[in-house]
């Protein structure tokens, strides 16, 4: 079996690595070509060029690289056509991967699979119809996504979210983190102001002001701030004057496995979390940590979003569990006063989110086969059917 597989960013690389492992388990004769990062290379992929070339976000950053990226798209499509694989699997990064798929489809009948459905349930539903012109089969991370893809004419399978495949922190790991960071038995508040520089710039000052209102009533509480390497210095600057003697959970200089263990331990140790909107809500739910979600964007983006967004909540725990138990402070409501009030409410009744968090994990596949193996089985079943 011959598979061309490509990912353009770290999250896609992790999905790709797990999928490749699943395919190798089910089809030991599989041969891979494509583009990926460390996780996919660990499964035997020899990436045609460094995946980091594709990990570019934002119009200003993309423009200087436009012609180089265009060449990479054409070069990758030609490599697919030369290989003549049984299937082309593209993972997220639609600006790159769907352009490759389009060129491949224009020149061949090679089957195309895209891993991670676009969030058409939230905004720009027309994206599904455009994608259907070049994609045959979609692997979805969320259980409510298949009908949206099928309505546009694509096959679609829910294969589980990678968060359910992550190990849970042990009591020993939590105790080790507390000891290492000098936290003793203090109650902990997790603050997560984003993983991009723009998010940190917008949210960290608001988070700090909210904590100045919330923490005086909880003087024993300490603040933990897990960070990703590329914004660690920026976050450190912002939290320096926060209350709660904030401690960064910094992965820099650590082996990836150890860094991941410390992050999981921090999430599990926390009694309460304040987080930017995003998939971090699922990581918190996996750890059983009650949360408040807060987010804001610039004024123009907010006005555009108000016209385009089609859901009444952006928090995946709320969406998957079909509840609205996780409070949100979004856009104009993302103020220190609102955030502090919701932190107080969640702290007063932390068990109120328990059932929704458990249901979310069940619906995302916890207790079932690993998502990578489910994704591999879906690819093979559709290919053979």
Question: Has residue 87 got a pLDDT over 70?
Answer: yes
pTM of the model: 0.87
Q: Give pLDDT, residue 21.
A: 97
Domains assigned to the chain: 2-160+367-382 (3.40.50.2000), 171-364 (3.40.50.2000)
- Rounded mean pLDDT, 298-324: 78
Handedness of CA 383, 144, 369, 41 (dihedral sign): positive
Q: Give pLDDT, residue 61.
A: 45
d(C-alpha 336, C-alpha 306), whole Å: 22
Task: Give SS3 for 202.
Answer: helix
The answer to whether 223 and 245 have CB atoms below 8 angstroms apart is: yes
List, for residues 219-252, the tens digit of each pLDDT value: 999 999 999 888 999 999 999 999 999 999 999 9
- Assign 3-class secondary structure to 228-282: CHHHHHHHHHHHCCCCCCCEEECCCCCCHHHHHHHHHHHHHHCCEEEEECCCHHH
Q: Give pLDDT, residue 122.
A: 63
Q: Give pLDDT, residue 198.
A: 86
Strand partners, 222: 188
Strands (E), the chain: 2-7, 31-35, 87-91, 111-115, 137-140, 155-158, 188-192, 222-226, 247-249, 272-276, 291-295, 328-330
Q: Give pLDDT, residue 59.
A: 37
List, for residues 35-56, the tens digit of each pLDDT value: 999 999 999 999 999 998 886 5
């Amino acid at each position: 079996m011959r598979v061309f597989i490509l990912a353009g960013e770290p999250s896609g690389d992790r999905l790709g690595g797990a999928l490749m492992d699943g395919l190798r388990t089910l089809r030991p004769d599989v041969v891979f070509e494509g583009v990926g990062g460390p996780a996919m290379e660990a499964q035997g992929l020899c990436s045609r060029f460094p995946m980091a070339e594709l990990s570019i976000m934002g119009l200003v950053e993309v423009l200087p690289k436009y012609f180089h990226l265009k060449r990479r798209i054409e070069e990758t499509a030609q490599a697919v056509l030369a290989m003549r694989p049984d299937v082309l699997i593209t993972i997220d990064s639609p600006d790159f991967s769907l352009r490759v798929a389009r060129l491949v489809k224009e020149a061949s009948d090679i089957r195309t699979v895209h891993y991670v459905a676009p969030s058409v349930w939230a905004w720009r539903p027309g994206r599904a119809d455009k994608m259907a012109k070049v994609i045959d089969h979609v692997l979805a991370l969320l259980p409510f996504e298949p009908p949206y893809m099928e309505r546009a004419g694509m096959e679609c399978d829910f294969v589980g979210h990678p968060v359910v495949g992550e190990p849970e922190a042990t009591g020993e790991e939590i105790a080790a983190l507390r000891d290492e960071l000098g936290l003793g038995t203090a109650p902990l508040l997790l603050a997560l102001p984003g993983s991009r520089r723009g998010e940190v710039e917008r949210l960290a000052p608001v988070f700090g002001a909210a904590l100045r209102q919330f923490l005086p009533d909880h003087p024993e509480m300490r603040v933990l701030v897990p960070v990703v390497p590329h914004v660690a210095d920026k976050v450190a600057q912002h939290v320096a004057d926060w209350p709660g003697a904030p401690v960064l959970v910094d992965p820099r200089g650590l082996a990836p496995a150890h860094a991941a263990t410390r992050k999981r331990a921090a999430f599990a140790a926390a009694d309460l979390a304040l987080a930017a909107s995003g998939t971090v809500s699922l990581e918190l739910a996996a750890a059983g940590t009650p949360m408040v979600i807060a987010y804001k964007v610039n004024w123009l983006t907010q006005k555009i979003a108000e016209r385009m967004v089609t859901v009444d909540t952006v928090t995946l725990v709320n969406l998957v569990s079909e509840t609205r138990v996780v409070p949100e402070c979004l856009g104009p409501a993302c103020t220190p006063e609102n955030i502090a009030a919701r932190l107080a409410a969640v702290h007063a009744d932390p068990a109120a989110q328990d059932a929704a968090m458990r249901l979310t994990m069940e619906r995302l596949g916890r207790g079932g086969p690993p998502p990578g193996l489910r994704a591999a089985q879906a690819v093979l079943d559709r290919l053979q059917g």
